[in-house]
Amino acid sequence: MTMRRPAQIPLDLPANSSLTRDDLVVGAANSLAVDAVDAWPAWPHPVVVIVGPPGSGKTHLAAAWSETSGAVDWTGDLPDETPFAVRVEDIDRAPYDESALFALVNAARLGGGSVLLTSRTPPSALDIKLPDLRSRVRAATVVELQVPDEDLLFGVIVKLAADRQIGIDPKMIAYALARMERSFQAASEFVARVDREALATKEKIGRPLVQRILAEMEVETKSSS
C-alpha cells in the first residue's frame, strides 16, 4: 500500500503583489478606469469614483493613481497644502465622518485638488445621509469596472502567479478558466489555493492539482448560493 506523504501546513503569508501602473493588466473590462487614471490631472471633474465588485482591481487602480499623482490616503482631515491628491477607498463599507468627507470633496470641487473614491456600490445606491455629500458624490465622474473576459483573466492569473513566485503552465490556466467563475475574485482565490496546495503537498502544479482546486471551489460556491 502506497502511503501519501503527510501534507506540510503552509504559512498563509500574503503575496508580494505589485500595485504599480506598469503592472496593471488592461482589458475591455477595466480600460475605461485605466484611462481615467492615466488622464489625471486633466480630469473633467475633480472627483472620480471607481465602482466594481470585490477583487476587480479597485485597489490596484487606486495605487496606480497614487503613484502617478502622489496621492495620499485620506486621514479624515483636509490636506494642509493645495493642490492636493487624496484617495478614499471602500466608501460603501469603511466608516467615515460624512461632514469631513464632504469638506474634502468640496475643497477639490472648488479647485483645491483631486479625490479618487472606490466603492462596490454605485454612488446612486450609496446610503449617504448628508444631502450635500450625497449630491457631490453623485455628481462625480463614475467609472465602472465590467465583468472581465477570458483574455484579461488569463493575464491576471499570470500576474498573480508571478507575484507569488510560482509557475503555472498556460495550458493549465486555460483549462481552469474554462471551468471556473469569470471574476477577479475567483482568479485570485484560484491562484492562492494552488500556491497553498502545491506548497503543502510538494506536488507539481498540473491537472490533478488544478482539478482538485476547481472541484473544491465549485462545491463551496454551490453551498454558499
User: Has residue 11 been placed in a domain?
Assistant: no
Q: Which domain holds residue 209?
A: 150-218
pLDDT at residue 225, as a whole number: 59
**34 and 124 co-located in one domain:** yes
Res 5 pLDDT > 90: no
CA-wise closest residue to 151 among 173, 179, 168: 173
CA-wise closest residue to 146 among 7, 30, 27, 9: 30
**Overall number of domains in the chain:** 2
Spatial separation of the C-alpha atoms in residues 133 and 151, rounded to whole Å? 38
User: Has residue 122 been placed in a domain?
Assistant: yes
Grid cell digits, residue 98: 460624512
**100 and 180 co-located in one domain:** no
**97 and 39 co-located in one domain:** yes
Spatial separation of the C-alpha atoms in residues 121 and 36, rounded to whole Å? 18
Mean pLDDT score of the chain, rounded to an integer? 87
Residue ranges in the chain assigned as alpha helix (H):
31-39, 58-69, 98-107, 131-138, 150-163, 170-177, 184-201, 207-224
Res 220 pLDDT > 70: yes
**123 and 157 co-located in one domain:** no
- Mark which of 144, 169, 195 sits at the end of a domain: 144
pLDDT confidence bin for 197, thresholds 50/70/90:
very high
**45 and 136 co-located in one domain:** yes
Query: pLDDT tens for residues 77-126?
Result: 999 888 999 999 999 998 899 999 999 999 999 988 999 999 999 999 99
**44 and 92 co-located in one domain:** yes
User: Has residue 13 been placed in a domain?
Assistant: no
